[in-house]
Amino acid sequence: DDRLRISSSLGATSALKPISASKAGPFDVSIEASGSPRALQSAIDNTSNNGRIIVGSWYGNSNVSLKLGIDFHRSHKTIQTSQVSTIPPAMTGLWSKERRFSLTWALVKSLKPSRLITKRLTLNQAQLAYELLDGGKEIAICFKYD
């Protein structure tokens, strides 16, 4: 699968399809970046006791239903958001906005995200773009503005 190959080429030491998570886990840390509530539940379910789930997705104003019953509470798992517009006060002396920006751009340059673009479409093809992305047929689509 192209997505697994690309994630490995970007430095992921392990990449798998969500359907394979239960066979490969449990994991000490799980990162959910798809925006799918099912994927978030899978991350919770396949994270080790005392493990950490990082939520890198944005769910907007949607309500998300999760199974957080007795098994979850006994597992002592931590769910942590990855919002980066602010950082913990203890880190502000070390990580100024300029330093964070500089590191971010260095990472973007080294990862070269433009190589992930699999299709270029015009803005009036936006519906098609979203359908292709939602169906997993494309990895990243760039809109051309004329």
pLDDT tens digit sequence for 79-113: 998 876 778 889 889 998 899 999 999 999 998 88
pTM of the model: 0.68
Q: Which residues contact 116 (CB under 8 A, 6 or more apart)?
A: 6, 139, 140
List, in sequence order, the alpha helices (H) in 21-125.
21-24, 37-45, 70-75, 97-111
**C-beta atoms surrounding 106 within 10 Å:** 10
pLDDT at 47: 95
- Lowest mean pLDDT, pick from 17-21, 25-29, 74-78, 135-139: 17-21
Is a pLDDT exceeding 80 seen at residue 48?
yes
For 118, phi then psi, to 5°, come to: -105, -10
Q: Is the pLDDT of residue 134 over 80?
A: yes
